[in-house]
Amino acid sequence: MSSSSSVDTGRMADAIRFLAADAVEKAKSGHPGMPMGMAEIAVALWTRHLRHNPANPQWPGRDRFVLSNGHGSMLQYALLHLTGYDLSLQEIENFRQLHSKTPGHPEIHVTPGVETTTGPLGQGLANAVGMALAEKLLAAEFNRDDALVVDHHTYVFLGDGCLMEGISHEACALAGTWRLGKLIALYDDNGISIDGDVKGWFTDDTAERFRAYGWQVIGPIDGHDVDAVDRAIEQAKADLVQPSLIICRTTIGRGAPTRAGTAKAHGEALGTDELAATRKALGWEYAPFEIPADLYAAWNARDAGAKAESQWNERLVTYRKSHAAPAAEFERRLAGELPANFAELAAKLVADANAKAETVATRKASQYALEALAPAVPEMLGGSADLTHSNLTLWKGAPLLSGGGTGRHISYGVREFGMAAIMNGIALHGGYIPFGGTFLTFSDYSRNAIRMAALMNLRVIHVFTHDSIGLGEDGPTHQSIEQVSSLRLIPNLEVWRPCDTVETAVAWKLALLCKNAPTALALSRQNLPFVPRSEAQIAAIERGGYVLAEADGGVPQRVLIATGSEVGLALAAKKLLEGEGIATRVVSMPSTEAFDRQDAAYRAEVLPRDVRKIAVEAGTTALWWKYVGLDGAVVGIDRFGESAPAGKLFEFFGFTPENVARIAKGE
């Protein structure tokens, strides 16, 4: 925290206003209204409450700040610049320009001090819920009476749009249930969205809605009164049980003579004349991007941040001395490193799966992996969106998180999107590797949060079961046809569709090792046969695609490529083809992403260019043509399913050894 007592807080707020307005004006693009309207709220939080260190944005003891209404990104960039982060004035002037540190919406890994990538409204708020949950669980696990090494708040700015998005209901209901008392949300209640005055489409009683969730609701207060916001934050911090919503009444575009309070201020540059009039109205006599020295001094948080971090470091030293084992575990977890014996654990998991040679559903194989890994990898934090006993994400002895308590398995309720975005927040906070389950078809609900995890390089694991028409009688509403291919289209998302216990074990191992990308596991409801492999083949699973069964004589005339439940089908078709003298290779390709990363020589070795190739997967066909070529074929489904027993459906849609063999022959 810095001190604003010796400088007029109105001028401090105006520094934000004009940095934002000037940057948007220069870019001819952006959203000046929110930064201009929330400037005083930012002064109160960032100079009187927020504990952070601009010199070390990743200091673990810091408070977390999330800008859920991320379209107002210039508010955050102005704050980071003014308080002393490595964000130069030149970067402010380069707002929204190629390769600048000030992109259109806040992005982690781009701008120092940004905690999460925001823009899709409501998700930042859900991320903040995940951060606050991680803080609470880590505190319960590691704090001792003589050393509080986990003790910080999560603050989030949000607007009307965040509250209109349904994800806000999913996440905020859970925050109240979980009693996340260190979560404090400041709501920019300006009544304006892009289409104008929200009274025509947003008439919710927001205060009563949040009270019903179990939140403390403060206000409405005057969001342009720094002292009033300061007092409200103090009140919020005093309640360590209920999360707090502070309703701040503001005027969007405050200070702009003709744009203030209008939709025009939301997403358009003010224009030269309006910006000049705003300077005159507010008495701001400085040129664009000019901030006087006294305001820089008032905003500077480097000294206060260094002191706060130093005090935390002293507590950590005491903690190490008094509690050496938990201290080492705490630091390992925050560093994102897996336990020292993880390689041994994973190798045993794979070897045991191979030795047991069980025919089970891959969702059950996934539970076997959890039973082996979760007790030894305490950072694994599981859950399911009301389908725990179908997704099989629970392991024996897992402590259940219930109400305001703690635990390692979370019942998220029927909240797929909220679960996915909360898991992103947990991963962003650090200390845990979150995973959560639902049916694959419901990945559509959580898709944008999955995309955001991929964009942010987060280690988050999605357990998607019931991955095809194999779920049977529930019919086309629940049968996944396009979802696997759709997920494969998301950059930096690792998608695995294993065919048996061994491939599932390998997929879990790689998901946990993957520090810079999320993973989606597509798992079957129905039992799938175990496939014997050599040690070399087991090792090759990690390459995403490999020769599972070589052609008679070693020179294939056909190559069948399959994933998941269709691998067994391909093996049966191979027998038929070879019975007719057609040498056939079967390639299992549980991960197209991993296979595509292999060098050209390996890919050509597995999929020879001069051999007819047929892909077999119970889903849409479009993706597979790049592997089989124009002379190949794809056995798939390009229509919605039917309600019937799984066996009947596979037969109806042509997923039989006879049909695959017929197509392979070109009949």
Backbone φ, ψ for residue 133 (5° rounding): -65, -45
Sheet holding 546-549, edge to edge: 546-549, 584-588, 558-562, 612-616, 633-635
Beta bridge partners of 382: 409
- Residues in Cβ contact with 355 at an 8 Å cutoff, skipping those fewer than 6 apart: none
C-alpha torsion sign, points 485, 487, 489, 493: negative
Burial 232-250 (b: 16+ CB within 10 A, else e): bbeebeebeebbbbbbbbb
Beta strand pairing call for 360-361 and 558-562 = unpaired
Alpha carbons 565 and 580: distance in angstroms, whole number = 24
Gap between the Cα atoms of 77 and 112, Å rounded: 10
The torsion angles phi and psi of 129, rounded to 5 degrees, stand at -60, -45
Q: For 545-557, b where at least 16 C-beta lie within 10 A, e where not — what string?
A: bbbbbebbeeebb
The residue type found at 321 is K
DSSP result, 496-541 = E--SSHHHHHHHHHHHHH-TTS-EEEE--SSEE------HHHHHHG
Cβ count near 116 (within 10 Å)? 30
Place of tokens 């294939």: 556
How far is the first Cα of the chain from the last one, in angstroms, to the nearest whole number?
74
> What gap in Å lies between CA 510 and CA 518, rounded to an integer?
11
Which two tokens mark 603?
Answer: 């890919």
Q: How far is CA 137 from the centre of its chain?
A: 19
Instruction: Respond yes or no: is residue 617 known to be catalytic.
Output: no
Write the CA distances from 574 to 358, 546, 550, 578, integer angstroms: 22, 16, 10, 6
Task: Tell me the two tokens of residue 57.
Answer: 């944005």
Choice among 141, 165, 309, 416 that is catalytic: 416
Neighbours of 610 (CB within 10 A): 5
CA dihedral angle for residue 657, residue 586, residue 513, residue 393, rounded to 10 degrees: 10
301 and 65 Cβ atoms separated by less than 8 Å: no
Asked whether 266 and 250 are in contact (CB, 8 A), the reply is: no
Cα–Cα distance between 366 and 261 in angstroms, integer?
A: 54
- Rounded CA separation 178/426 (Å): 14
Strand 527-528 and strand 360-361: pairing?
antiparallel
Question: Positive or negative, the Cα torsion across 592, 377, 309, 133?
Answer: positive
Query: How far apart (Å, rounded) are the C-alpha atoms in residues 228 and 226?
Result: 5
215, 176 Cβ separation under 8 angstroms: yes
Q: Which helix (H) or strand (E) holds 600?
A: helix 600-606
Are the C-beta atoms of 383 and 426 separated by less than 8 Å? no
Active site residues: 416
